[in-house]
Structure 1
Amino acid sequence: MAIIASLVQLAISITMFPIFLLRFLGLWDRVCKRLFPYFMVQFTENYNREMSAKKQELFSNLQDFAGSSGKVALVEVGCGTGANFKFYPPGCRITCVDPNPNFEKFLIKSIAENRHLQFEGFIVASGENMHQIADNSMDVVVCTLVLCSVQQQEKFIKEVHRVLRPGGAFYFMEHVAAEPSSWNFFWQQALRPTWQLLFDGCDLTKESWKALEGSSFSKLNLQHLQAPLSWKIVRPHIVGYATK
């Protein structure tokens, strides 16, 4: 099956040759960074509709991690368009981190639509290097549909651990690799190079649970599930939170 997947992968890549050529010439990344937020506006609207119950369940105990002020100091890494804002508790103090500066105008719109939150600022940075955020300063860190595009997941998780205060929590909801013997995994492999190119580095075959299981969090609540999504290829998910 692996050989067939490689052949299909090659055929798809040949079909997408013009985009691969733009990438080789150093032009595609700039185009993708500008266009990707527009795609994410529509995608996250659909994703939220299909995953609303799962998100509500995931974030239902967020308030339990509030600091002494009674408000949750939260940093969302890979914040994108602000798709998670409506699921956060009132008074939540949000710091947004994303490596793509083109998300900012969409983020501001989401903040305006979620007056129950207190917006602290937008930082253009990768999750692997959040040096602008002090050690032990956050009650909660959130990332959803982010780890798939993180090349150094262990470094990313160490940064999350660093910025969290003792007793703070890291919440995640991520699509991951399917079972290796499944047809879904076959198509994940076949589409992987083209998918990464079109969707800003998203890797369909990431086994993100392994980095979480190998982390230094004191407690890990992690669930594997088949998400109720229209796009079957991204249905394999991990959902949960880890406590420092």
Structure 2
Amino acid sequence: MDWWWMAEVDYVLAVWIKTNMIYLILGGLVLIYLWSNRVDIKHRWFAYFMHLLNKDKNPKIEELKSELFSSLSSVTSHDPELRKNNSIRILEIGVGTGVNFSHYPDGTHLVVVDPNPHFASYYDTNRKNFPNIESEDILVTTGEDMKGVADNSIDVVVMTLVLCSVTDTKQILKEILRVLVPGGKFYFLEHIREFEDKTHRRRQLLQDLLTYTGIWPFLFDGCHLNRDMLPAIQEAGFSKVDARRFHAPLDKLLLKLIIPHLKGVAQK
């Protein structure tokens, strides 16, 4: 496989950051001042940013999701009432604007969790387009503290591009195992730290720099560029984990830092 173009992208990105460093620093200082006085601005900004980012879906990413979620139609619910209707109960953690509605089977009973209350208006607008799914209002809480979701009550848990920003990765995996029914499945799609050490060392350095300085987490609501969740998922206590690392087909310059991805399914 040819990697030369990705190395070239790494170089262009590094040059752009170096050229615009003073503006990035000044912009960061302004945002720190504003958000230190009105913390809510950060959450409003992130919800609006994700709304804009998800308005035009990337066909290649949607194809990846379709492949990942294709086995949802074969899941049998643990709930007798849902099973009668050939339905399943899905919990999506970090639902955001609701970008995964189109990948859920008809009749899905969808429970959703997100700590950012400003996603609600975008989510509510989006779910009106999917009357084939019985979707609940957002439970405003973190995935680490889902008291509103009962033990052994969820057939499938879904997380896409969320584990990068959680506060306690071990706790959220414990919560996922708690709420899943025996044999229940956890579907995940996450951006991770660059895993090609030799060919993309520059990307690793940029990911570490922007994360450890706090610039990226501050701008993008706690997102860490340099996490790799595969070891944590493998050690969390699932009976089976089927996952792989890969490079996602992302074209926008800002998104080149999150090309390294992880996707898979873990079973309780």
1:213 to 221, 234, 255: 234
In structure 1, what is the equivalent of residue 106 of structure 2?
90
Any residues of structure 2 matched to 1:138-149 within 5 Å, and which? 138-149=154-165
Q: 2:41 aligns with which of 13, 28, 31?
A: 31
Tell me the matched-pair count. Answer: 237
- Give the whole-Å Cα distance in 1 for the aligned partners of 2:54 and 2:242: 24
Q: Bigger radius of gyration, 1 or 2? A: 2
Corresponding residue to 2:175 among 159, 162, 179: 159
Q: What is the rounded CA distance, in whole Å, between the counterparts of 1:197 and 1:14 in structure 2?
A: 14
Structure 2: 5+ residue runs without aligned partners? 1-17
Q: Quick one: distance in 1 between partners of 2:194 and 2:163?
A: 15
- How far off is 1:13 after superposition? 4.2
Rounded to whole Å, the distance in 2 between the matches of 1:120 and 1:139 is 16
Tell me by how many angstroms 1:211 deviates.
Answer: 1.2
Cα RMSD, aligned residues only: 2.1
Is the Cα contact below 8 Å between 1:74 and 1:92 reproduced in 2? yes
1:1-244 to structure 2, matched below 5 A, reads 12-13=24-25, 16-23=28-35, 25-27=36-38, 29-46=39-56, 48-67=58-77, 68=80, 69=83, 70-179=86-195, 180=197, 182-192=201-211, 193-230=214-251, 231-244=255-268
**1:64, distance to aligned residue in structure 2 (A):** 2.0
Aligned residue type for 1:243: Q
Q: With the length of structure 2 as denominator, give the TM-score of the two structures.
A: 0.82
Superposed displacement of residue 14, structure 1 = 5.7
Structure 1 residues 31, 59: CA separation in 2 closer, same or farther (over 3 Å shift)? Answer: same
Name the CA distance, whole Å, in 1 between partners of 2:70 and 2:55: 20
Deviation at 1:20, TM superposition (A): 2.6
> TM-score, normalising length from structure 1?
0.90
Match of 2:128, SS state, is helix
Taking every aligned residue pair, what percent have the same amino acid on both sides?
Answer: 36
Shift of 1:47: 5.0
Corresponding residue of 2:9: none
Offset of residue 49 of structure 1: 3.0
| Counterpart residue identity of residue 116, structure 2 | N
The 2-side partners of 1:37 and 1:200 are apart by 9
Q: Call closer, same or farther: CA 1:217–1:88 in 2, change over 3 Å.
A: same
1:192-241 per-position Cα deviation (integer Å, ceiling 9, x unaligned): 22111111111101121121111100000111000001221101000011
Letter in structure 1 aligned against 2:69: F
- Which residue in the other structure is 1:4 paired with? none
Contact 1:94-1:121 within 8 A present in 2 as well:
no
Question: How far has the Cα of 1:113 moved from its partner?
Answer: 0.8
